[in-house]
Amino acid sequence: MSSDTSDSDHRAYTGVVPFPEEMTLRPLARVVSPYLQRHGTPRQPGFSGAKEHLEGLGEIHLLDGFDPLLFQDLDGFERIWLVSFMHLNRAFGRPTVRPPRGGSKRGLLATRAPHRPNPIALSCVELLAVNGPVLQVRGLDLLNDTPVLDIKPYIGAFDAFPESRIGWLEGLL
């Protein structure tokens, strides 16, 4: 291919589907949580203390139209990842934020601030039980009725990198 080939010519040549400018996602479950307001919801409950961690008891309810067999075999995992949509967040606005630790402003994507270009949350929770279409969990940091987009098993051998560098948080934790 010559260097003056357009992107559309390249897609036609390679058979690649055009890049999606928008996406539609369908929630598969909803969170049942003791947290009804953003203020007072634990941040990083596994880190912030045993009391908050224990208070973060809740459930994940599969929505109508999804087969409970989706939860089959999850009961063998101690932890799961919840990918959710932070439905109450305002639109993304600022590229920098002031995190609770670290004092100065930081680039938004170098923080875990909730107001993001796409308000998607990633939470690792302890899976206590699987009861048909309901998962009982501990360590929630999500509001009641938060839509869950996906659930994945936490696998320590793949998901934990304790020796990884932690950027600007070095020395603060």
The predicted-structure confidence for 17-45, as pLDDT tens digits, reads as follows 888 889 999 999 999 999 887 766 666 55
At 119-138, the pLDDT tens digits run 999 999 999 999 999 999 99
What pTM does this model have?
Answer: 0.81
Kindly report the backbone phi and psi dihedral angles of residue 42, in degrees, each rounded to the nearest multiple of 5, phi listed first: -60, 145
Round the average pLDDT of the chain to a whole number and report it.
85
User: Looking at per-residue confidence, does 141 or 63 come out higher?
Assistant: 63
Contact predicate 35/144, CB 8 Å:
yes
Is residue 127 classed as helix, strand or coil in its secondary structure?
strand
Per CATH, domain 44-131+152-157 is 2.40.30.70: yes
Q: What stretch of H or E contains 131?
A: strand 120-131
**In the chain, domain spans:** 44-131+152-157
Q: Give the Cα separation of 15 and 166 in Å (integer).
A: 39
Name residue, tokens 């932890």: 79
